[in-house]
Amino acid sequence: MYNVGIDLGGTNIATGIITETGEMICSRSSFTQSGQSYETILHQIAGEVSALLRDAGLDPSAISSVGIGIPGVVNAKAGTVIQCTNLRWYKKPVQSDLESLIHLPVRIENDANLAALAEYMAGAARGVSSCILLTLGTGIGGAIIENGHILTGKSGQAGEFGHMTLVADGIPCACGRFGCMEQYCSATALIRMARQILGQRPDSTLVTLTRGDLTALTAKMIIDAARDGDSAARTTFDRFTHYLAIVLDSLTNLLDPEMILLGGGISSAGSFLLDAVLREFPRFEHGSPRPVPRIALASLRNHAGIIGAGLLSAQGCSFA
Ligand SMILES: [Zn+2]
């Protein structure tokens, strides 16, 4: 038997056929147009599941369940999305509504929790009992695994590291507070820092590359320039990894995990990111050596969400 995993993003729907051990044997992806109604998006998801089964040459009877990752706050037990700001979904009974369209059992969960489940069952955290996953993208997601349980908290919001205060009275955040981690350790933050620094560094290759239009800057451009030795890009990246190391230190003090995994778009910087963080991290030892977690890159990249959704019904890990 197989499962279907669905990763519902703000701009696309990615689906895959997942084996019971977390292997993806077929996948597809389609764009969602912003501003579509809840009903339209659910019908699009149902259409994608049908098309996926057709692509894979499978009958629905070969599928035991369908899992779906939501970029928002989820009540998994009730099968309800409490809040998904990107899609403007509030208190939507996604599980029952989707089941009535596709006639297969559906389960829903927060997307960062599913990425952690995938890494734990089939990726870089396999065999580890306690792990934190940080996804560093446009925003920041996170999840905590402790003794094989993914911690969801009282209302499903455990692991929302992006809105922990990192700098007191710091940069305003979309959540309404100030100095959140997301304002210092996301791709968006990296770009903002670069723009500030480049204002005084017209000699940078990034200024040449963007022909002076810093609104065209991307995180990848900054990371590539830093890797190539551009001084302003390097200063930006060092500032970014300094903030990230502070967060890793705080999470270590809080949870003492066996492993911290870095995922999301920024983690495609690979060993360049990892080496920079590992250089910075020991600075926070408090005078004497202490056990530190293994810091590593998440291994399933863009597929973690689909694989985790496909593994929702698998044995071996639970949500608590
Ligand atoms: Zn915030």
What's the pLDDT tens digit per position in 22-70?
A: 999 999 999 987 689 999 999 999 999 999 999 999 999 999 999 999 9
Distance of alpha carbon 233 from alpha carbon 228, whole angstroms = 9
Distance of alpha carbon 184 from alpha carbon 187, whole angstroms = 9
Distance of alpha carbon 286 from alpha carbon 288, whole angstroms = 6
Burial class of residue 103 (count of CB atoms within 10 Å of its CB; 0-12, 13-18, 19+): exposed
Contact indicator for 165, 180 with CB cutoff of 8 Å: yes
Please, what CATH class does the domain formed by 128-299 belong to? alpha beta
Q: Which residues surround ligand 1, an ion (CB under 5 A)?
A: 163, 173, 175, 180
Contact indicator for 49, 60 with CB cutoff of 8 Å: no
Ligand 1 center to 171 CA (angstroms): 9
CA distances from 20 to 24, 51, 64, 315 (A): 10, 21, 10, 9
Q: Note the pLDDT of residue 17.
A: 97
Distance of alpha carbon 135 from alpha carbon 160, whole angstroms = 10
- Report, in angstroms and rounded to the nearest whole number, the Rg of the chain calculated over CA atoms: 20
Ligand 1 center to 79 CA (angstroms): 26
Domain with CATH 3.30.420.40 in the chain: 2-118, 128-299
Distance of alpha carbon 184 from alpha carbon 275, whole angstroms = 19
Which amino acid, one-letter code, is at 45?
A: I
Ligand 1 center to 85 CA (angstroms): 14
Contact indicator for 289, 160 with CB cutoff of 8 Å: no
Per the listing, tokens 């446009």 go with 138
pLDDT by 10s per residue, the chain, length 320: 999 999 998 788 999 999 999 999 999 999 987 689 999 999 999 999 999 999 999 999 999 999 999 988 898 889 999 988 878 899 999 999 999 999 999 999 999 999 999 999 999 999 999 999 999 998 898 999 998 788 988 877 889 899 999 999 999 998 899 999 999 999 999 999 999 999 999 999 999 999 999 999 999 999 999 999 999 999 999 999 999 999 999 999 899 999 999 999 999 999 999 999 999 877 666 556 677 899 999 999 889 999 999 998 776 567 76
> Which CATH fold would you assign to the domain 2-118?
Nucleotidyltransferase; domain 5 (3.30.420)
pTM: 0.89
Query: Can you state the angle between helices 187-198 and 231-255, rounded to 10 degrees?
Result: 140
Distance of alpha carbon 36 from alpha carbon 213, whole angstroms = 32
Q: Note the pLDDT of residue 7.
A: 94
Q: Note the pLDDT of residue 87.
A: 87
Per residue in 252-274, pLDDT tens?
989 999 999 999 999 999 999 99
Ligand 1 center to 84 CA (angstroms): 15
Q: Note the pLDDT of residue 192.
A: 97
Q: Note the pLDDT of residue 317.
A: 64
Ligand 1 center to 169 CA (angstroms): 12
Q: Convert the chain into a string of H (helix), E (strand) and C (coil).
A: CEEEEEEECCCEEEEEEECCCCCEEEEEEEECCCCCCHHHHHHHHHHHHHHHHHHHCCCHHHEEEEEEEECCEEECCCCEEEEECCCCEEEECHHHHHHHHHCCCEEEEEHHHHHHHHHHHHCCCCCCCEEEEEEECCCEEEEEEECCEECCCCCCCCCCHHHCECCCCCCECCCCCECECHHHHCHHHHHHHHHHHHCCCCCCHHHHHCCCCHHHCCHHHHHHHHHCCCHHHHHHHHHHHHHHHHHHHHHHHHHCCCEEEEECHHHHHCHHHHHHHHHHHHHHCCCCCCCCCEEEECCCHHHHHHHHHHCCCCCCCEEC
CA-CA-CA-CA torsion sign (57, 61, 64, 70) = positive
Ligand 1 center to 178 CA (angstroms): 7
Q: Note the pLDDT of residue 175.
A: 86
Ligand 1 center to 255 CA (angstroms): 21
Ligand 1 center to 183 CA (angstroms): 8
